[in-house]
Amino acid sequence: MERPASPHMASSSPDSPCSCDCFVSVPPASAIPAVIFAKNSDRPRDEVQEVVFVPAGSHTPGSRLQCTYIEVEQVSKTHAVILSRPSWLWGAEMGANEHGVCIGNEAVWTKEPVGEGEALLGMDLLRLALERSSSAQEALHVITGLLERYGQGGSCLEDPAPFSYHNTFLLADRTEAWVLETAGRLWAAQRIQEGARNISNQLSIGTDISVQHPELRTHAQAKGWWDGQGAFDFAQVFSLTQQPVRMEAAKARFRAGQELLQQWQGGITAEVMMGILRDKESGICMDSGGFRTTASMVSVLPQDPTQPCVHFLTATPDPSRSVFKPFIFGVGVAQAPQVLSPTFGAQDPVRTLPRFQTRVDRRHTLYRGHQAALGLMESDQDRGQQLQQKQQDLEQEGLKATQGLLASEWAPSLQELGSLFQAFVKRESQAYA
């Protein structure tokens, strides 16, 4: 069903509401010998986020790949991925691949202007990196290579008025993490080999740059942003001089995230990360005007390569009233139909020009059930409490099962591992029926 596009006008201004928070814990900050990754995706309130499984693939040499707006050259082999993505686009807000690489992205504005043309979205870059890399460092090289070749740009909202931004990324694997921050085609990256780190819609890499674009400093000097003397502070040099209100709010969330990670230093688990993502007081669990946290993800990446990585995804908004459901790559992995949005082919408003002149109903089955459940939680206290208890019980069951798996107390078949997410999605859908 189509309806007229919203009259809400987006823009490329950082004053427009847009926020996300990414977190990572690398031992010894983690309570277990594992890297733990987490992200809240904060997007327009009514935007649907689906969870999509894409199997590994082999591709014809020289073939082309259609991303959200532009085509790129395809590679010969791509890895299996699990993606949490706004259902109208090709890329993803967050995801993981079969090799235990996880990536989350964030919107950022810098002194470098946001281009008006269509290029690769940050979300496209994220998916391309997951499909093409087997480590966080390799994913960084994939993103920066594609950035150099194709650039980043295009509207990031399903709206006729353009809304564009540059991107920062948090990349993690079983052994380490990287923060990658971009300004147009320029970038700086920081390697995280121990401790906890977070990013929140702002440049956060200062003088501790592990690797950078070869022209980063000469460009800053040519623009008059850096005098070429003394230490080069990337965030200080490239951040906007006049910070808008939304960027100030991001600073507050960034500091709150740092403090929460610090409080749990040495004791960070998947449950701790889920608690941080559910923190409403700090704004990390967002519910502000036209924006809210539309989906969340937590991943446990054991340092022992014989143990499976576990990825918990909600596929629904507001993590404080959602279920984190476990996904593990295995033999029986297939798409869970309840978290897949309907498709509209060539008639999709993102495909027809001019884009986004109409809106379509992208709600998937679990999203519809979850929205009804949220309504009950607000209108019928007793039934709402019962539903929330069902959510909590289901999540605890998933956490205990995967904890048992990582502690070698549960030895499921590869088929059972692969179908775990499907089973939990089905049970949550039934709870809302």
| Cα three-residue angle 175-400-103, rounded to 5 degrees | 35
Structure tokens at 164: 């564009």
For the cut 70, the answer to whether the pLDDT of residue 2 exceeds it is: no
Distance between terminal CA atoms of the chain?
23
Task: Report the side by side order of strands in the sheet with 166-172.
Answer: 49-54, 81-86, 94-97, 102-108, 166-172, 177-183, 186-192, 211-212
Task: Decide: 45 and 292 in contact? Cβ < 8 Å.
Answer: yes
Task: Decide: 298 and 387 in contact? Cβ < 8 Å.
Answer: no
What domains can you pick out in the chain, each with its CATH number? 20-347 (3.60.60.10)
Structure tokens at 161: 């008025």
CA–CA dist 317, 62 (Å, integer): 39
pTM of the model: 0.95
Determine the average pLDDT of the residues in 166-174: 98
Q: Is 271 exposed, middle or buried (0-12, 13-18, 19+ CB in 10 A)?
A: middle
For the cut 50, the answer to whether the pLDDT of residue 13 exceeds it is: no
Q: Residue 18 has what pLDDT?
A: 59
Q: Residue 242 has what pLDDT?
A: 82
Structure tokens at 5: 């596009």
pLDDT in tens, 356-406: 999 999 999 999 999 999 999 999 999 999 999 999 999 999 999 999 999
pLDDT band at 289 (very low <50, low <70, confident <90, very high): confident
CA–CA dist 171, 92 (Å, integer): 14
Instruction: Let me know if 309 is a catalytic residue.
Output: no
Determine the average pLDDT of the residues in 321-347: 96
Helix, strand or coil, per DSSP, at residue 195: strand
Instruction: Say if strands 310-313 and 64-66 run parallel, antiparallel, or are unpaired.
Output: unpaired
Q: Residue 7 has what pLDDT?
A: 32
Instruction: Report which of 332, 314, 377, 285 is spatially closest to residue 51, judged by C-alpha positions.
Output: 314
Options 18, 20, 22, 156, the catalytic residue: 20
Sequence letter at residue 368: R
Query: At a CB cut-off of 8 Å and minimum separation 6, what does 213 contact?
Result: 144, 185, 186, 187, 188
Query: At a CB cut-off of 8 Å and minimum separation 6, what does 299 contact?
Result: 36, 37, 38, 96, 102, 172, 309, 310, 311, 312
The better pLDDT of the pair 85, 3 is held by: 85
Q: Residue 175 has what pLDDT?
A: 98
Determine the average pLDDT of the residues in 167-195: 98
